[in-house]
């Protein structure tokens, strides 16, 4: 690239190049991957559940997994194939969780609260404080997207209008925010039950 020229648009890069960029610390590359693959992943999840709400939850879980484990993609198969396996694992896991406990009307942050301390007032108070700290640690746009989605219950399109962002970017911000909140609250969720055995990496 000649001096002074603009860097290539991320949207022109291959999936593998985007994964490499994201693992190296480029959060915008993750946004592009979400925008590019959300429709296909959602279609896979919708075929599995035949239910839009469950498909949306599985879609979210898929991209949270990508957020946390992108470095496990080795490029031996097409990224879309790898992500399809991640989505199917997310669907299977969600199906098992739903079979073990009643479906909650909460989502995102509220679901974390239920998992951490459903009946213990002291633990619930601790969770509230931890959750406030975790939210405060998010960047302003991601925090706003998460709050508008999980607390206000706004659909992605309305959030996109309010924040003046593309819908795909709003989705990726929410997925990323949920992943960081889950990581921040992991120590509060561990005592709930025995840990599931580690699953083989896709």
Distance between CA atoms of residues 170 and 141, nearest Å: 9
pTM reported for the whole predicted model: 0.54
45 and 63 in contact (C-beta within 8 Å)? no
The CATH number given to 109-192 is 1.10.10.10
Q: Name the token pair of 83.
A: 């992500």
181 and 119 in contact (C-beta within 8 Å)? no
User: What is the pLDDT tens value at each position of the chain, 202 positions in all?
Assistant: 444 444 468 889 999 999 999 999 999 999 999 999 999 998 888 888 877 888 888 999 999 999 999 999 988 899 999 999 999 999 988 888 877 544 433 344 544 444 444 444 555 555 566 777 778 788 888 888 887 887 667 788 888 888 888 988 998 888 888 888 877 766 554 444 444 444 544 4
Q: What pLDDT, on the 0 to 100 scale, is given for residue 105?
A: 35
Distance between CA atoms of residues 177 and 145, nearest Å: 8
Spelled out in words, what is the top-level CATH class assigned to the domain 11-100?
Answer: mainly alpha
185 and 127 in contact (C-beta within 8 Å)? yes
What are the structural domain ranges in the chain? Answer: 11-100, 109-192
């Amino acid at each position: 690239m000649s001096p002074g020229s603009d860097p290539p648009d991320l949207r022109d890069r291959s999936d593998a190049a985007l994964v490499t960029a994201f693992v190296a610390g480029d959060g915008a590359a993750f946004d592009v991957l979400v925008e590019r693959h959300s429709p296909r992943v959602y279609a896979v999840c919708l075929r599995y559940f035949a239910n839009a709400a469950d498909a949306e939850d599985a879609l979210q879980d898929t991209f949270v997994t990508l957020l946390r484990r992108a470095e496990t993609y080795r490029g031996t198969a097409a990224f879309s194939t790898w992500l399809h396996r991640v989505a199917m694992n997310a669907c299977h896991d969600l199906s098992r969780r739903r079979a073990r406990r009643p479906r909650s009307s909460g989502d995102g942050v509220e679901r974390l609260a239920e998992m951490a301390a459903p009946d213990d007032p002291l633990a619930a108070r601790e969770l509230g404080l931890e959750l406030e700290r975790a939210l405060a640690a998010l960047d302003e746009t991601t925090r706003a997207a998460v709050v508008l989605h999980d607390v206000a219950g706004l659909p992605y399109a309305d959030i996109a209008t309010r924040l003046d962002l593309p819908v795909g970017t709003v989705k990726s911000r929410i997925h990323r925010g949920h992943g960081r909140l889950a990581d921040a609250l992991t120590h509060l969720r561990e005592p709930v039950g025995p840990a599931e055995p580690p699953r083989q990496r896709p």
